[in-house]
């Protein structure tokens, strides 16, 4: 159990619910073609996206 502002939080409330609000996606039947890298970040290179090809040929 974790605490936040004196209230007990479960792992679901503390870690999973914030992730569900993000616009991350899981694609099935897809293959990564290219990882998009930004080099202008103050902390150096960082991955910012991915190009995928679906099994049906769509990008």
pLDDT mean for each 10 residues of the chain (59 residues):
71 78 80 92 86 85
18 found inside a domain: no
10 found inside a domain: no
Compute the distance between CA of residue 11 and CA of residue 32 in angstroms, rounded to an integer: 31
2 found inside a domain: no
C-alpha dist (Å) from residue 9 to 15, 20, 39, 47 = 10, 16, 38, 31
19 found inside a domain: no
Domain of 29, in residue numbers: 25-59
C-alpha dist (Å) from residue 56 to 10, 18, 24, 27, 28 = 40, 32, 22, 13, 11
57 found inside a domain: yes
Q: Please name which of 51, 23, 46 lies closest in space to residue 35, comparing C-alpha atoms.
A: 51
Tokens of 24: 């991350």
Q: Given this model, what pLDDT does residue 23 score? A: 77
33 found inside a domain: yes
What's the number of domains the chain is made of?
Answer: 1
């Amino acid at each position: 159990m974790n605490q936040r502002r004196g209230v007990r939080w479960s792992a679901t409330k503390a870690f999973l619910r914030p992730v569900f609000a993000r616009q991350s996606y899981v694609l099935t039947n897809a293959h990564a073609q290219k990882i998009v890298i930004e080099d202008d970040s103050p902390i150096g290179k960082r991955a910012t996206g991915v190009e995928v090809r679906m099994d049906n040929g769509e990008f």
